[in-house]
Every structure is written in C-alpha cells, then in structure tokens.
A and B are shown apart, each in its own frame.
Chain A
Amino acid sequence: MIDRTALRAVALREIRTVLRTRAYLLLAIGLAVVLFGIVDRSDAVAAGYVPSTVDLLLPMELLVPLVAVAIGYRAFTGDNDDSSVLSTYPISTPTLVTGVFVGRLVGLAAILALPLVAVLVSVAWTPTVGSTVFATTDGVDSPILFVRFIVLTVFFGAVVLAMTLAVSVLTQSSKAALALGIGVFVAVVAGGDLLLIGGLATGSIDDGMLRWAIGVSPNSAYRGLVYELVIGVATAEQGYADVGTSVIGLGLWSLLGLLVTALGIKSKRRAAIAPSIKRHVR
C-alpha cells in the first residue's frame, strides 16, 4: 500500500519546500527569540531545566499549534492541489499522505526543536544559583527532563499538523485553508479544554475521571504529559494525567487527521478524474 521509494520522494520534496520557504526560517528565528526572551526574563535559564520547562509550557501551548498550522495549512493547496497532477500521481493515497506528513513534520520538528535545544544548551552553560560559601546541589533537575519536554512538544506539534493537513485538503483555496487552519488552532488551544470544563460543570465528568478525560483534549494531553513526566518528577507529585490515555489520545487525533486527509485526497482524485471521463464519453 505504501511505496517506500515514492514515499521518500514525496517526503524529500516536502522537506525541500519547507527549506525553500524563507518565512519558515524567520518563524524558527522568531520562536527562538521569544523562548529565550521568556527564560531569560524569568531567570529560568539560571534556575534549571525544570523551571525552564515550567516557564515555556504555556507559551508552547500557544506557539506549537501556531507553527503547526503555518507549516501545514498549504500542504494540499498550490502544487499539491493541482487536481490533474493529483489524479495522475502514480502513487497511492496513503503513500502521498504519509509522505507529505513526514516531510512537513521534519520541518516542523526542526523549527520547534532547534530553539528548544538552544535553550537546553544555554541552561547547561548558565551557572545555577552559585555560592562560594555553601555547598550547592542541582536538586532534581536534569537535561533528560528537558529532552522529554522537547520530544513531547514535537509530538504535540505532529498532532496539530495532522489535523491541519485534514482541513487543508478539505478546502479549495489557500484562503479557506487559512481560515480553517485558524479554526484548528482555536479548537486545539481552547476548544478541548472548554469541553472538559463544561463536562466538569455539568457533572458528565467527575473528578475521578478527569485524569483520563484530559487525554481527550490535545493540548491538555500535552500539558498533562509535561506535568507528569517532567515537572512532576521534580516535585514528586503524580497524578496530573494518565500517561497512557494522553499518549493514545494524541495518537488518535493524529491518526484521525491523517485519515480525513486521505479520504479528502481520494475524493479529490475521483473528482479530478470524473470530468475527464465525461469528456471522453462525450
């Protein structure tokens, strides 16, 4: 079903597209500036990896969907939306969707991870609250925890990317794709959490369920994982979220996004072929 050579070709083409688009470079630089600004102003750089994670979590919840939408919303417009090209692509729909997703994800991962890795390096290089008088300890703090944060952040980005691909394929124009992309952004940033809050308010979610229910909202799942696997390690508190449910929740959202994308491509291909058949018959 998936042709590996074709997959590689599509993915590499997408990576080249990302590389060629100067705006993405600016996006990465802008992100790095914002992240550094935050951890520098809050002294988290000197405080350590966990404080840096604490400080970057909220900004990342907003910035990751933003970057993912920016990377993904035109994936199936422009070149890729040329119906005649699509219809004559000698590759299967799953190959095409996976290729586009993987290629864009590599770009997204680079844009998200490189500034975070830079933060990690600068935390490593900045001396912690030092003292010439007292023995110091790093407490429970480790670059490992920050690597976890980076991985979780990229994972979260992948989920939003998959959802964005789905809306991008459902629309005809770039403008419409942008509008729907913003819709994805709002839904991810606020929608899921509002549903959870509503659920608590109406009593359809009780406090015992909340740990699992959190896995349903993508950004809450992300936040829960960061709390549980990064911040909670330092504070020795657990129970912020059920890790399994959150991971599965995020995984299902990505699969759903990719599935909708594939279905969308399929119907577009059919629509592109149909008029030519009609013409042929006439």
Chain B
Amino acid sequence: MKSVRVIAAISVTVVVLVSAGAFVVSPNSSTQEAVDFEDTVSIGLTLEERQTIEAHGRLVPRVQVAYSQYPFVVGYRGIGQAAEAVDDPLVRQQFGYAQSVHVEVAPTDVDVDSDGYLHGEPTNEWIPADEAVFVTDTDARTPGVEATVAFESRTAAGTFAERHGGRLLEWDDRTAFEAREADGAVANDRVDAQHAEADERVATAFESLDRPESVVVGEDAETIQDAVETADPNSTIRLPPGVYEESVTIDRPVSIRGENATVVGDGNGSVVTVTASDVAIEGVSISGVGEVSRPDDVTPEGWDGHTEAAYGHADAGITIADSDRVLVTDVEIDTPTSGIAIRDSNGTVVDDVVVRGADTWEDGFMGVVTVRSRIVVQQSTFVDGRDGVYTLRSHGAVIRDNRFDGGRFGTHLMYTSDALIDGNCIHGQTAAGIVIMTSPSRTVIRENVLVDASQGILTSGSDSYIGGNVVVASQHGISTNARNSLYSDNVLVGNEVGFVAASVVPTSRVVNNDVIDNDEHVLIRSGPLRVWSHDGEGNYWSGAADLKREFTPTGPVDGILHRTTAATTLAASPAARSLRQLRTETPGMRSESVVDASPRATPANDSRVEFGSELRDEYDRNGAVECPTESHHQ
C-alpha cells in the first residue's frame, strides 16, 4: 500500500513538473546549425549564370535560411536575394519567419576581376547573419546586381571597402542590399517593349528585300552559287520559277528572291549556308537536306559545347552562322533533320516559314535551332520533326504567332532567359507543347493556345510570367515549376490534369486562372502546401464556384466537387469543416496540397473560357482540332 502511494506521489509530481515545465522552457532554444550549401533547397541565378560563374572563378555570396514553418533549409545565391526573401510577406505566409539566417564568409583573398565581377572561391564557412559585417555599394558586381559581401570582422570588411568602395552595414540594415528587381509581373511589363523591339528588328531585316536586282539566275548566271559570286553586294538575285538542284553558300550581303523556286540539295549537308550578315532569302522551297543530325567534326568548346555539338550543327535546309540580321521569309523546307540552324547570328528573323520534319520525332530534328542568337521566329508553321523551335543561350528570343503541329516538343528553351513566347498555337505534341529547361529567368509565355499537347506548358527557372494561355485536352495543362513567377489569366479546360505543382519552394503567385472540367484540377508532385490566392484574389475552379470559402483542389473531398454533387454534402460535414479549419496557419510544414483561400464565383476570362470550351467540344466531337487562324499581333 505504501509503495502504491509512493508511485502515485511520484507520478503526480512528474505530471505537475512536466506540465509546469512546458510553460517555463522555451521551445525556441535549439538553433538550426548551418548546413552544407549543397544540401539546401537552393535558389537564385539561372543555370547559365552558375555555369559562367564557375567557369570564371567568380563569387556570388550565399545565404542559408531555416524558416519556422518549412522543413527544408533554403539556400540563396546573393545576399540581397535572401534579404528580400526573409521580409517578403508571401514567403512569410508560406514558410513562417526566418528562424536562423547564416551567411557565407567571403574568402580572405576576395577580389574584383577585370570585368568588375566579384572573384574568389566560395568558402562554405557560415556565421549567423547578425554577427556578420556586410559591405554594400561597392564597385563589385554579381550577375544582375551590385554585390553585397559578408565578412566575419569589421577589419576584413573595412579592408575590402578600402579597396573597392562601399559602406559597412549589418543584417538589420538589409533593406539597403541590392536585389534583382524581378518577378512574373516585372517580366510581363516588358512585353510591349519586347514586341516593339522585335518589330524593329523585323523591319530592319525586311529592308534587305528593297535592294535592286542585279542578277537573274538562268539568265545572268547558270546557278544560284554563280549568281551569289557575281552579284553586287547589297543587291537582289532573282530566282525565276523552276527547280535548282544545288547546295549554295551565301558569303556576301545579297538578297535571294524566288518565285515558285525550289532548291534541291544532294542529300548531304545543308542546302543553303549563310556566312555573311544582311542576307535575305525569300520565296523558295528547299528539300534534299542531309541526314546527319550530329556531325563528328564538331569539337565541343566551353561549358555549353556538348549541347551545342549535339543540337546546333545538324544538317539543315538553311544554316546561318556568324551572320547578323539575316531574313528568311516565305520559305518552305522539307527536311529529315533541321529546318533552319542559326548559330551566333543576332537579329535573325524567321518569318512565314513552313518546316515539315520527319513523320516520327525520333527520326527527325529541330524546325528552327538557334545557338547564342537573338532571334525572332514569327508567323511560321512547324509540322512534325522533333522540336519546332529549339533555342540554346538565345536570350531575348521572340517566338510569336507560330503554329506547331506534332513532334516531340513545340518550343524548347535551353539556357535562354528573357524569351517571349506569345500567341502561338501548339497542338498534337507527343511530349509537351512548351518546354523551358535549365532554370532561366524572366521567361514570358502568354496568349498561347495548346491543344492535345501532352504536357502543355512545362516551366522552370524563376521570375517568369505565364499568362493568358489556353490549354485544352492535354494530359497536363501547366506546370508551376518556375519560382517567383506569376501565373494568371490562364484557362485550362478539359485536361486530364489542370495545373501540376512540383516546385519545392513555392514562391509564385497563381491567381485569376480559370480551371474548368479537368479530371483533376491540380496534381501535386512534391513540396509543401501552397496558397494559390493573393489579397482576396483567387482562381475560378469548376465545381467550386458557389463555395464562398477556401478551396483545396488537392483535397479528397474538394478535389471531386466538380465531378460529383454528393461531395458537396460531405464537404459540409463538421468533420470535413474541421479538417479544413485553419489549415493555412502553418502551410510550410504540411505536404503536398494547394489551397485557394478566395476561389472565384465566376470565370476571370470570359472570352478565353468560351474559346477554350469550343476547342474542347470540337476536340471531343472529332478527336482533333485545328489551330485558329487569327493571330494576336501584327
């Protein structure tokens, strides 16, 4: 009896102590230690920028942040980037507050290289941000912004500031650190200017067609090649109707204008090769293209050399190399490999071109492939082959008002930032309509129509705008992988899956989209809970129009509201209500769901919804659908 009492007394004491202790002990006492940067969920800089930095031994100071309500440590390339993130209300809502911030100490020999970039080896040595001394307003740069550098001591910081200028600041002064001003809205703001600039480039290229005629093939010269060699510079060579069996190299600034002219190569190499600037080619059909997609004689150079060798040197209807302001217009190309290959040729314009590739994509190659070239591809049609347009490091590419039928990908961007993909109709791809790879920045994908395009729009990178697209009858509509981006005014109708969410760091805004009659509105692959609404602005979801409450398209009950009315009954149950309750309080720690706190009662984009629904109906009736002929621009 006595031992029972002793046990009871001990138990009571323990319960009382634990209970009281819980309020006395701070749960905050354990601080997150810094981890290896490689182990963080890292963001900032495009893959191209990272490759370049590494190749030149440049330095971008790094920060890592553990958030109170997010399971992964987030790594930032760029101190300004991190400073902006920890105070961003959207980040706070998704991840909670910054529980611990560590900055990487600059190496002792940190310097500035001849191009003005910060130079040195990353130390991977981390100290708490509030113990670090920062130097900002220096003459050193990192990609996109002026560098802010972190040091362990005032002495080290002072030494750097003496040599390179700048002020010494602390973490609390972080609003003074420069960060790239960028997000999806910023990207969208430049669209008009980018179109205007493209219009100018097109106009410049078209000036070549006004040149006086100096040679007529068949009259003044036997072959096109002879004509090129005899023509005055800056003159026009005319091709009367007929078939010209030859391969041509154009190494002078001339314009070739045909009329029902067909140039047939001998099945080896490219049919037309341009090696001079200001060349124009108009009104010809091209066939007899070689079948080599990866020639052996190309030696890869630089970090992108292998990609270039693999894709940029295939036999093509027209190859343009190291030549600026070349115009290709009103041209038809039948090719087993590439249609037009463009390398290191800025200002090149591809207009009103038809490229017909191999029937099966495995046998074919790229309609237009561009390497390190600022190009405009417009009002052209790409049928079959592998990818309609493939770009490699072709920043600022404008791809507008084209039509892509079949093939593997419609448009495929590699290491290409600032691209504008606008007003295209893309349909019938086996893998995806628009594919963005290698984490570029500031891509704009707008006003495109994608039908039966398998994966629809696959994004990557950051600070992009994906807006006003209509995706119909595809397996997946739009992936939201691009971070810090704006996805708005898109219409997703009758797809197997509307949105795919897979980004581990969901810092994008997804609002004002109309998500209608998809088998599944949202498929979530990984990452935490995302809030897809902002300031009372959400999306329209069929099945959730009358909810007047937060909506979880990934939830077991909400997710089928558009498929069965019975789900409405269950959704109103106290159990379902209490499960919904307060879910958004700690979103970062919860896995794999999407919440729209303010679902719309009516579609946000009426005319687009009507258009999308018509396409869907047509597709359902015929199992196929044509791209609309009207274009958005010009």
Q: Are the C-beta atoms of B96 and A236 separated by less than 8 Å?
A: yes
A172 within 8 A of B: no
A window 115-156: CB within 8 A of B: 128-129, 131, 133-142, 144-145, 147-148, 150-151
B86 within 8 A of A: no
Known contacts A129-B528, A134-B504, A137-B66; A144 and B579 CB within 8 A of each other: no
A138, closest chain B residue (CB): B71
Q: Are the C-beta atoms of A58 and B73 separated by less than 8 Å?
A: no
Given contacts A41-B579, A50-B69, 6 further A-B contacts (CB under 8 A): A136-B73, A137-B70, A138-B71, A140-B69, A147-B18, A231-B586
20 contacts between A and B (CB under 8 A): A38-B578, A38-B579, A47-B591, A50-B69, A51-B585, A59-B578, A129-B71, A133-B39, A136-B71, A137-B72, A137-B73, A139-B66, A139-B68, A140-B28, A140-B68, A140-B96, A144-B27, A148-B22, A235-B585, A236-B96
Q: Are the C-beta atoms of A151 and B19 separated by less than 8 Å?
A: yes
Chain A residues within an 8 Å CB radius of B614:
none
Q: Give the shortest distance, in Å, between A14 (CB) and chain B (any CB).
A: 15
Q: Give the shortest distance, in Å, between A131 (CB) and chain B (any CB).
A: 7
Known contacts A47-B590, A47-B591, A145-B27; A58 and B582 CB within 8 A of each other: yes
0/1 interface trace, chain B 80-106, chain A, CB 8 Å (1 if under): 000000000000000011010000000
Measured CA separation A50–B70 after assembly (Å): 12
Interface of A, secondary structure class, is: helix
Chain B residues within an 8 Å CB radius of A58:
578, 581-582
Measured CA separation A48–B67 after assembly (Å): 14
Q: Are the C-beta atoms of A134 and B40 separated by less than 8 Å?
A: yes
Q: Give the shortest distance, in Å, between B183 (CB) and chain A (any CB).
A: 24
A54 within 8 A of B: yes
Chain B residues within an 8 Å CB radius of A129:
71, 528, 589, 591
Which one of B22, B66, B578 lies within 8 Å of A151 (CB-CB)?
A: B22
Looking at chain A, what size class is its interface with the partner chain? Answer: 35 or more
Q: Are the C-beta atoms of A235 and B591 separated by less than 8 Å?
A: no
Q: Give the shortest distance, in Å, between A230 (CB) and chain B (any CB).
A: 9
A169 within 8 A of B: no
Looking at chain B, what size class is its interface with the partner chain? Answer: 35 or more
Which one of B27, B581, B590 lies within 8 Å of A140 (CB-CB)?
A: B27
Chain B residues within an 8 Å CB radius of A42:
579, 583, 590
Most chain B CB neighbours (cut-off 10 Å) among A136, A140, A145, A147: A140
Residues of B within 8 A of A (CB): 18-19, 21-23, 25, 27-28, 30, 32, 35-36, 39-41, 66-73, 96-97, 99, 504, 528, 575, 578-579, 581-583, 585-586, 588-593
Q: Are the C-beta atoms of B97 and A235 separated by less than 8 Å?
A: yes
Q: Are the C-beta atoms of B97 and A236 separated by less than 8 Å?
A: yes
A145, closest chain B residue (CB): B27
Which one of A37, A59, A128, A151 lies within 8 Å of B71 (CB-CB)?
A: A128
Which one of B18, B72, B583, B588 lies within 8 Å of A134 (CB-CB)?
A: B72
Q: Are the C-beta atoms of A139 and B71 separated by less than 8 Å?
A: yes
Q: Are the C-beta atoms of A51 and B586 separated by less than 8 Å?
A: yes
Q: Are the C-beta atoms of A57 and B40 separated by less than 8 Å?
A: no
B580, closest chain A residue (CB): A42
A44 within 8 A of B: yes
Q: Are the C-beta atoms of B71 and A235 separated by less than 8 Å?
A: no
Which one of B39, B582, B583, B589 lies within 8 Å of A48 (CB-CB)?
A: B589
Measured CA separation A48–B35 after assembly (Å): 22
